[in-house]
Amino acid sequence: MPDVARDLLGKHLIHVIDGQRIGGMVVEAEAYGGWDDLGSHGHGRVTPRNQVMYGPTGMSYVYFIYGNYWMFNVVAKPPDVDYAGAVLIRALEPLEGDSVMAANRSQRPRRKWTNGPAKLAMALGIGKSLNQHDLIDPKSPLFFEEGTLIPDEHVETGPRIGLESVPEPWRSIPWRFWIEGNEFVSR
DNA sequence: ACGGAGATCTTCT
DNA sequence: GAAGATCTCCGTT
């Protein structure tokens, strides 16, 4: 699963709205596991919200949090196993549909369009209606394309963000991956 | 530039 | 009933 997060770096995420392509390159991603990962929505029981995390790899998992924000994930788990997993896309580098993203981000500076998980969802117009879609199928409204291969020497890793109240070792496990020096990484 | 607090509501216990 | 995979605003440095 962490391997999927790392491999998503450099891929292009594209959302097509009325024939208009909006998207960017993945520059930061985090892996989340199943029942034993206390930092993941996949821990504990199957619920209406997390059930998609138990499904096939490559589906979207979009959830709402903090009363205002949408988070976009890719389901990623070992095949043929009853175990949940997902990868949170934390940041993109804008590539297509600049005018739409600028409008969606209230004319903020380009650097702040997609440098955070909720920000990129706002910029690309990702919400509840895009939950549980096939992200591998180019006919989907939201999908991944091949992008730039990122060599290992340009990949950095560290603990996941926002899990301050989660017990060790889950709080510190280095399942956050980002492209070294990229200005759109969230922090 | 940095830090702290409020916003706001869905989901699960 | 409480917490949450966050962002923005407003204060101070």
Query: What amino acid is encoded at A143 in this protein?
Result: F
Fold classification of A2-179 (topology level): 3-methyladenine DNA Glycosylase; Chain A (3.10.300)
The confidence band for A3, taking pLDDT boundaries of 50, 70 and 90, is very high
In order of A1, A74, A153, A186, A187, the CA distances from A181 in angstroms are 24, 24, 12, 11, 11
Return the pLDDT at A79. Answer: 79
Q: Which nucleotides of C are covered by protein (CB under 7 A)?
A: 3-8
Q: What is the mean pLDDT of residues A62-79?
A: 95
Q: What are the pLDDT digits (tens) for A98-116?
A: 999 999 999 999 999 999 9
* Nearest protein residue by Cα to C1' of nucleotide B8: A67
d(CA A4, CA A86): 9
Closest by CA position to A56, among listed A85, A13, A15, A30: A85
* Nearest protein residue by Cα to C1' of nucleotide B7: A67
Q: What are the pLDDT digits (tens) for A35-63?
A: 999 999 999 899 999 999 999 999 999 99
Query: What amino acid is encoded at A51 in this protein?
Result: Q
Beta bridge partners of A136: none
Query: What amino acid is encoded at A33 in this protein?
Result: G
Q: Which nucleotide is nearest to A41 (CA to C1')?
A: C5
State pTM to two decimals.
0.96
The answer to whether A67 CB sits below 7 Å from nucleic acid chain C is yes
Query: What amino acid is encoded at A31 in this protein?
Result: A
Cis (ω within 30 of 0) for the bond into A2?
no
Residue A124 DSSP SS3: helix
DSSP string, A24-59: EEEEEEEEE-STT-TTSTTSSS--TTGGGGGS-TTB
- Can you give the distance from the CA of residue A95 to the C1' of nucleotide B12 in angstroms? 38
Beta bridge partners of A88: A30, A73
Q: Judge contact between A58 and A138, C-beta under 8 A.
A: no
Return the pLDDT at A134. Answer: 97
d(CA A40, CA A16): 29
The answer to whether A35 CB sits below 7 Å from nucleic acid chain C is no
